[in-house]
Amino acid sequence: MSINIDLDPPMVRRLREKAEQIGKTLDEYILDLLQKEVVKEDEMSREEFLLQQVNLGISSEKWERYYTLIESRDKESLSEAEHEELLQLSDEIERRNAERLPYIFELARYKSISPEQLMADLGLQ
């Protein structure tokens, strides 16, 4: 099903920027927003909801670029533009980790394990 919504350009720009920050397309980001507002937590198990929030992160393409830039930095062959890109990606990763941290703690409490154990179980660093 398709729905058309007319949004003013500044709103579209803000939505697109937020989507890019978390490595999603504009459509994916808007769908996520709607699902968070419309889908009630009790329609999915609490654990599923928390896992979904914990697993939101940056795209695999951004991770690949991040590691490429780290490698260039370690070889001391990073350009100024690449350095700025690395800083932006690092900030984005930190922001996403901070956003999902409360869900990690809540899921750990839900499962009656430590946050460190949960992160190890999920393969999170």
The pLDDT tens digits of the residues spanning 58-117 come to: 888 999 999 999 999 999 999 999 999 999 999 999 998 888 999 999 999 988 999 999
Kindly list the distances between the CA atom of residue 4 and the CA atoms of 1, 7, 27, 56, in Å, as whole numbers in the listed order: 10, 10, 12, 26
Query: What pLDDT, on the 0 to 100 scale, is given for residue 4?
Result: 83
Query: What pLDDT, on the 0 to 100 scale, is given for residue 7?
Result: 85
Tens digit of each residue's pLDDT (9 = 90 or more) over 24-55? 998 888 888 888 776 655 556 788 888 888 88
Query: What pLDDT, on the 0 to 100 scale, is given for residue 124?
Result: 82
Query: What pLDDT, on the 0 to 100 scale, is given for residue 94?
Result: 92
How many CB atoms neighbour CB 19 within 10 A? 18
Query: What pLDDT, on the 0 to 100 scale, is given for residue 43?
Result: 59
pTM over 0.85: no
Query: What pLDDT, on the 0 to 100 scale, is given for residue 118?
Result: 93
- H or E segment to which residue 62 belongs: helix 60-74
Spatial distance between the Cα atoms of 42 and 37, rounded to a whole number of angstroms = 13
